[in-house]
């Protein structure tokens, strides 16, 4: 797999066993990162901009491209903890959203993310770059059937909290001092009906202007920090 970006490299440098080769743009002026790369004992090559663009299949690599091993995923059982906090994505197809949500999950201290194998974005290079490397720090479980996975979590004592605008309580009225799996629905259609049926309750964010919805990653960030603030009051 090819990943790219300075922030991704910064995080990846903590996991050198995951990196096979680093490609660095000739003439890059970031002396600090160049020194880190040279001292890392990881094979690296200097390349011109066109060569990096071709390898990354993208021009937004910031002069650093890494060939890495596939990101290891985990089994659901390893993510279950007392008073745990998980995020499940139901049909999120934009890799930028997946990456941004991973980044927030890392910042908030989420135990792990659940992705579906079909009809959703995976841990692609674009998602990894958007995560600024959090794809390597937040354990991720990929499942075939999200509905069955939520049923399993409920048997383990988790509350399933969905996100929707209909028949939902204000997000500030949520109960968050219990084990939680927060479900974020797809950008256009929201949660699927079968997934929504598994929710113990659904929350919404108030929309005071003319726009009727927020970007999925922005909504997820607001909700995760609401959970964090209730669990960790000043």
What digits encode the pLDDT tens for the residues 11-53?
Answer: 889 899 999 999 999 999 899 999 999 999 999 999 999 999 9
Pick the closest to residue 191 from 69, 94, 88, 79 (CA basis). Answer: 88
The pLDDT of residue 146: 97
Q: Which of 33, 68, 103 is the last residue of a domain?
A: 68
Of residues 188 and 21, the one with the higher pLDDT is: 21
CATH of the domain at 99: 3.40.1280.10
Asked if 49 and 95 sit in the same domain, the reply is no
Q: pTM of the entire structure?
A: 0.89
Is 167 exposed, middle or buried (CB count within 10 Å of its CB: 0-12, 13-18, 19+)? exposed
DSSP state of 186: B
Crossing angle of helices 216-231/95-108, nearest 10°? 10
Asked if residue 215 and residue 189 are part of one domain, the reply reads: yes
Confidence of residue 106 (pLDDT cuts 50, 70, 90): very high
Based on the fold, state whether residues 207 and 95 are members of the same structural domain: yes
Average pLDDT over residues 196-214: 92
Question: Is it the case that residue 224 has pLDDT exceeding 90?
Answer: yes
Q: Are residues 60 and 161 in the same domain?
A: no
* Model confidence at 60: pLDDT above 90: no
Number of domains in the chain: 2
Whether the per-residue pLDDT at 131 is higher than 90: the answer is: yes
Domain boundary among 48, 68, 88: 68
The residue segments making up the domain with residue 12 are: 2-68
The reply to whether 47 and 107 lie within a common domain is no
Q: Is residue 216 domain-shared with residue 177, that is, in the same domain?
A: yes
Are 48 and 89 contained in the same domain? Answer: no
Average pLDDT, the chain: 94
Residue 187: per-residue pLDDT: 77
pLDDT score recorded for residue 211: 86
- DSSP readout, 77-98? GGG--TT-EEEEEES---HHHH
Mean of pLDDT values over 104-122: 95
Where a domain ends, among 51, 68, 85? 68
Q: Are residues 162 and 93 in the same domain?
A: yes
8 A C-beta contact, residue 185 and residue 164 = yes
Q: What is the pLDDT of residue 150?
A: 98
């Amino acid at each position: 797999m090819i990943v790219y970006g300075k922030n991704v490299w910064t995080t990846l440098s903590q996991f050198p066993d995951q990196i096979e080769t680093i490609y660095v743009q000739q003439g890059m002026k970031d002396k600090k990162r160049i020194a880190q790369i040279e001292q890392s004992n990881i094979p690296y090559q200097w390349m011109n901009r066109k060569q990096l663009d071709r390898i990354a299949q993208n021009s937004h690599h910031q002069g650093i491209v890494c060939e890495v091993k596939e990101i290891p995923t985990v089994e659901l059982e390893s993510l279950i903890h007392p008073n745990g906090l998980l995020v499940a994505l139901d049909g999120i197809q934009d890799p930028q959203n997946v990456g941004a949500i991973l980044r927030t999950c890392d910042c908030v201290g989420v135990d792990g993310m659940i992705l579906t194998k079909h009809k959703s974005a995976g841990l692609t290079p674009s998602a990894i770059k958007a995560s600024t490397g959090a794809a390597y720090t937040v354990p991720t479980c990929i499942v075939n059937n999200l509905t069955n996975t939520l049923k399993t979590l409920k048997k383990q004592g988790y509350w399933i909290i969905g996100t929707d605008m209909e028949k939902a309580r204000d997000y500030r009225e949520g109960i968050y001092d219990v084990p939680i799996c927060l479900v974020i629905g797809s950008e256009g259609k929201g949660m699927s009906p079968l997934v929504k049926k598994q929710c113990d309750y659904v929350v919404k964010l108030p929309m005071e202007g003319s726009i009727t919805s927020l970007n999925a990653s922005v909504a997820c960030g607001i909700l995760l920090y609401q959970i964090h603030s209730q669990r960790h009051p000043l």
